[in-house]
Amino acid sequence: MKRYDPSKIEAKWQKIWQNEKPYEAVDFDDARPKIYLAEMFPYPSAAGLHVGHVRNFTIVDVLTRFYGQLGYNVMRPFGYDTFGLPAENYAIKTGTAPQAVTTENIANFRNQAQRLGYAIDWSREISSSDPEYYRWTQWIFARLFERGLAYQKESDQWWCPVDKTVLANEQVEAGKCWRCGAEVEKKTMKQWFFKITAYADELLDNLDDLDWPDKIKTMQRNWIGKSVGAEIDFVIANEAKQSSGTTAGSLRVARDDGEIITRDDAIITVFTTRPDTIFGATFMVLAPEHHLVKQITTDQQRQKVNQYVEQTQKKSDIERQENKQKTGVFTGAYAINPATNEKIPIWVADYVLANYGEGAIMAVPAHDERDYEFAQKFNLPIIEVIKPQLSKTDLKNSIWTGEGIMVNSMQFDNQNSGTAREKIVKWLSKQGIGREKVNYRMRDWLISRQRYWGTPIPIAYDSKGQPHLIPDNQLPVLLPGVEDYKPDDSGRSALAKADDWPKVTIDGQEMTRETDTMDGYADSSWYLLRYADPHNTKRAFDAKKIDFWNPVDIYAGADHAVAHLLYVRFWTKFFADEGLIGFREPVKKLIYHGYVNAPDGQKMSKSKGNVIDPLDIIDNGYGADTLRTYEMFMGPMDQDVAWDIASVGGVFRFLNRIWNLTQDFIAQPNDKVDNELRRAQHKTVKKVTGDIKRLSLNTAIAALMEYLNTLAKNPKRINRENIEVLLKLLAPFAPHMANELFEQLGNKTVIDNAGWPEYDEKLTEDEQTTIAVQVNGKLRGEIKTARDASKTEVKTAALELENVQKFTDGKTIAKTIYVPNKIINLVPTD
RNA sequence: GCGCGAGUGGCGGAAUUGGUAGACGCUGCAGACUUAAAAUCUGUUGAGGUAAAACUCGUGAGGGUUCAAGUCCCUCCUCGCGCACCA
């Protein structure tokens, strides 16, 4: 008898798959349904595949093979996210050119992916640092530029002092760089942005219809952070000379110190989501960076205010976030509350953020917790304008921030705050001092990176510093080889140091190239389209091919909940608006799986020395089939799981038993149909099919184990069909073994083409069913009956059970609940 | 603080629609084979209880709805993740 030796059979089948290319997708094949599956393409690190990749790729592989067996025209491509910081940092560390490192790492990744037996369409392999790819990333930049969706702006940006580049908001996590963890700094620089905010509403609204995990959708909603409210103008009041009045067109107001300021400077606009509470606005607060702070501050308060502003500017954002104690200073100035016409003081405090809304608020301490805290601390008046429709006991110590009935609000009294809100906005807008306003927390996507290893931004500047697109026919703007690509503190990438490269002639004009490169997320925002037409040299992609394959049916990943998955949605919407594609969402179903952690539950990391190398597992004799099956079996897909080598052994034993069982059958074949095994077989087909469809892969494998246990108990009664069905169901998880044994059984076709087994619903049910017998809801016994047994029959049989009689003796049955084939519950009178 | 998840044996987990809690795997224990070990195979493995059964308890805690609750409702605790002064 042959022994199970994974190394032999896996090498054999991998070679066959490489030579015969059975997993290439067919464009425009209408005879079969199509399905497009993809994983988030990996950064090919020098360390090779890790167990997390294996989980990610195997999930997609199981589905690829499953749908393939079901007869689908499956596209499952593969690619590499090669541009970006990790590759460049690695190149710097090892003193090799990023180009060379990348080529080497791709070869390694490809080789390792093949050693795992993935059913990849290798004809569609792409990598983002390939000029044939980034040429089109540049082309897309140009289209965005033409529509005003790529623009330049000078502003404060997050700068990572370690990676020496600016970062997008999405790449700053709790004030730290997402890559290296260094605390980021503010730096004023002129940078390129993509105007993702133009799509804010659609990005938010379309989330509702996506078959994505709620967790991701919630994160994206929070990130977009839509707030519907109003802008309201407050006029700055003058204590001493109230009556300086207006002159034509502009309001002129005198300040305490006598200086006259014009209307533009005399208005503070605020954003609020609760205009209904305006009658309770008893003070105003400006962010320390607000442009009016200097002008309105009175001489008396000037020193204190300056000191406070200086102090907060010195603090990093982290420090500002850490200290939740309210601080602030009175400016000495007042504004008029337009609803009450009362004079209210204007304060400066860092709890108001400069970069959201107007950087100024009307403070309603009775109905906002932060304002309340501030008012308590500085003894500012609190006026209640909304009465909750609840008993007061609920709010003893806190203030009411919900809806309610308006009070102290003149003509709006006794109305519901929700309806009053709209009326107040109308009332204010009639007076020209208020308007509806929607604000978003999301900012535009900053894409400039002061690093070498990225897609060059296809822009050049004329002598006046005006940006011009590099014409399409001069694309790609090739990344030149340079000697020294290390980043520095100059705020410019290494490309600025490349001798002649920045010089370019466009339309006969001498210009200077942009030397920053694009954020790597730009590259990954359209690769799911390129897969459908990976070798097109005339355009980014052919609309007909996109139309055939895209959007992606199932996309699997474990990271990038906000950044990548928001950007790729943004670009898809842009492409649709450009008429390049016919859909507005890139991914129908998203699988967001958990991490594979070290045995102690900690994250695997080189520094902790707890990294499990998947290739070691293969080479130690377990083989790729065991590794793949184990990673699918270790727990539900969406959960984090800890590595457990003992369980790897359990899965190996499972496969080994299938091997031995099949060898025994080959030695002593049997043709007879055994009813019990046939039923077990059909039951298993139903269960495994259903489980794979609902992505419950761990229970699908458990069902295969159960089926194997049933077969192994009756080795003599197993027939060919029993075994072949087992192998077909196993094939997505352990394709090498399934193919090998299927062949050993004498089949001429490979198992991939042998179809997915079907089941007969009637055969998935036992002829006899076991019915649990309860008395008063407690289990007292079991009876076996025919499937179609009537309630009366079952009841009679149940009442005959000795153990049931013990609990029903001398009592009458008041109620009988019967769930066919499941349970009967007898409820006696007391 | 707010939002979203989750809490089930010694461990990972299962229970898809309110219907027999603990599938499947690991570990442990006992046995077979072996000079021995590994491998393999068989049995067993929630707690209490019993010679064996019966029976009692049991899905984070407490209450509720129901013939019936891991599952639904209320209150609370713990952990994880996300957001974090966004007006």
Q: Cα(A10)–Cα(A735) distance, rounded to whole angstroms?
A: 9
For the CA of A628 and the C1' of B30, the distance in angstroms is 33
**Confidence at residue A768, expressed as pLDDT on a 0 to 100 scale:** 78
Interval A323-347 mean pLDDT:
90
| Closest residue, by C-alpha, to the C1' of B83 | A222
Interval A358-383 mean pLDDT:
92
Q: Beta-carbon neighbour count of residue A212 at 10 Å?
A: 20
Does a cis peptide bond (omega within 30 degrees of 0) precede residue A551?
Answer: yes
A246 pLDDT band, cuts 50/70/90, is: very low
Q: A606: buried, middle or exposed (CB in 10 Å: 19+, 13-18, 0-12)? A: exposed
| Residue A637 confidence (pLDDT) above 60 | yes
Render the burial of A182-195: b for 16+ CB within 10 Å, e for the rest: ebbeebebebbbbb
**Confidence at residue A237, expressed as pLDDT on a 0 to 100 scale:** 79
Which whole-number Å values give the CA distances from A161 to A86, A487, A574, in the listed order? Answer: 16, 10, 33
User: Is the shortest CB-to-strand distance from A274 to strand B under 7 Å?
Assistant: yes
Nearest Cα neighbor of A712 from A647, A663, A646 is: A663
| Residue A537 confidence (pLDDT) above 60 | yes
Q: Beta-carbon neighbour count of residue A172 at 10 Å?
A: 16
User: Is the shortest CB-to-strand distance from A323 to strand B under 7 Å?
Assistant: yes
Q: Cα(A426)–Cα(A287) distance, rounded to whole angstroms?
A: 27
For the CA of A394 and the C1' of B73, the distance in angstroms is 20
Nearest nucleotide to the CA of A778, by C1', is B68
Nearest nucleotide to the CA of A696, by C1', is B16
pLDDT in tens, A4-14: 999 999 999 99
User: Is the shortest CB-to-strand distance from A174 to strand B under 7 Å?
Assistant: yes
CA A776 to chain centre: 48
For the CA of A777 and the C1' of B52, the distance in angstroms is 26
For the CA of A629 and the C1' of B55, the distance in angstroms is 42
pLDDT in tens, A80-137: 999 998 899 898 889 899 999 999 999 999 999 999 999 999 999 999 999 999 999 9
Residue reference for tokens 């790449």: A171
**Confidence at residue A408, expressed as pLDDT on a 0 to 100 scale:** 93
For the CA of A9 and the C1' of B66, the distance in angstroms is 57
Tell me which of A178-192, A210-224, A466-480, A500-514 is least confident. A178-192
User: Is the shortest CB-to-strand distance from A271 to strand B under 7 Å?
Assistant: yes
Q: Percent of chain A scored above 90 by pLDDT?
A: 64
- For chain A, give the mean pLDDT: 89
For the CA of A781 and the C1' of B65, the distance in angstroms is 27
CA A710 to chain centre: 41
Nearest nucleotide to the CA of A285, by C1', is B87
| Residue A640 confidence (pLDDT) above 50 | yes
Nearest nucleotide to the CA of A442, by C1', is B86
| Residue A748 confidence (pLDDT) above 60 | yes
pLDDT in tens, A420-478: 999 999 999 999 899 999 999 998 999 999 989 999 999 999 999 999 999 999 999 99
**Confidence at residue A215, expressed as pLDDT on a 0 to 100 scale:** 87
Contact A53, A92 (CB under 8 A): no
User: Is the shortest CB-to-strand distance from A813 to strand B under 7 Å?
Assistant: no
**Confidence at residue A390, expressed as pLDDT on a 0 to 100 scale:** 58
Interval A690-709 mean pLDDT:
95
Nearest nucleotide to the CA of A327, by C1', is B85
For the CA of A828 and the C1' of B69, the distance in angstroms is 21
For the CA of A638 and the C1' of B76, the distance in angstroms is 28
Nearest nucleotide to the CA of A770, by C1', is B20
Strand B proximal residues, A:551-570, Cβ < 7 Å: 562
| Beta strands at A448-449 and A517-518: parallel, antiparallel or unpaired | antiparallel
Contact A193, A445 (CB under 8 A): yes
Interval A555-559 mean pLDDT:
90
- Write out the two tokens for A394: 């609920």
Residue reference for tokens 């004799």: A621
Give the bases of strand B that a protein CB approaches within 7 Å.
3-5, 11-16, 19-21, 23-27, 39-42, 54-56, 67-69, 81-87
Q: Cα(A297)–Cα(A259) distance, rounded to whole angstroms?
A: 12
- Write out the two tokens for A773: 């017998």
Q: Cα(A813)–Cα(A119) distance, rounded to whole angstroms?
A: 61
**Confidence at residue A247, expressed as pLDDT on a 0 to 100 scale:** 34
| Residue A242 confidence (pLDDT) above 50 | no
Sign of the CA dihedral running A112, A115, A119, A120: positive
| Residue A23 confidence (pLDDT) above 60 | yes
Strand B proximal residues, A:751-810, Cβ < 7 Å: 770-772, 774, 776-780, 782, 803, 806
Tell me which of A87-91, A391-395, A447-451, A518-522 is least confident. A391-395
Q: Percent of chain A scored above 70 by pLDDT?
A: 94
Strand B proximal residues, A:176-205, Cβ < 7 Å: none
For the CA of A716 and the C1' of B43, the distance in angstroms is 21
For the CA of A393 and the C1' of B32, the distance in angstroms is 72
For the CA of A699 and the C1' of B2, the distance in angstroms is 36
| Beta-carbon contacts of residue A810 (< 8 Å; ≥ 6 apart) | none
For the CA of A778 and the C1' of B60, the distance in angstroms is 24
User: Is the shortest CB-to-strand distance from A218 to strand B under 7 Å?
Assistant: yes
- Write out the two tokens for A57: 């790729």
For the CA of A50 and the C1' of B79, the distance in angstroms is 28
**Confidence at residue A261, expressed as pLDDT on a 0 to 100 scale:** 54
| Residue A256 confidence (pLDDT) above 70 | no
Render the burial of A299-310: b for 16+ CB within 10 Å, e for the rest: eebeeebeebbe
| Closest residue, by C-alpha, to the C1' of B23 | A702
Task: Name the region of A71 (left: φ>0; alpha: ψ -120 to 50; beta: rest).
Answer: left
Tell me which of A383-392, A415-424, A459-468, A588-597 is least confident. A383-392
Interval A175-194 mean pLDDT:
84
Single-letter code of the amino acid located at A611: V
| Beta-carbon contacts of residue A102 (< 8 Å; ≥ 6 apart) | A44, A80, A82, A87, A127, A129
For the CA of A646 and the C1' of B28, the distance in angstroms is 13
Interval A264-289 mean pLDDT:
90
- ipTM of the complex model: 0.95
Strand B proximal residues, A:324-383, Cβ < 7 Å: 324, 326, 350-353, 356-357, 359, 361, 364, 368, 370
For the CA of A779 and the C1' of B58, the distance in angstroms is 14
For the CA of A223 and the C1' of B3, the distance in angstroms is 12
Nearest nucleotide to the CA of A354, by C1', is B86
Nearest nucleotide to the CA of A362, by C1', is B87
For the CA of A394 and the C1' of B63, the distance in angstroms is 21
Interval A162-179 mean pLDDT:
81
For the CA of A205 and the C1' of B1, the distance in angstroms is 28
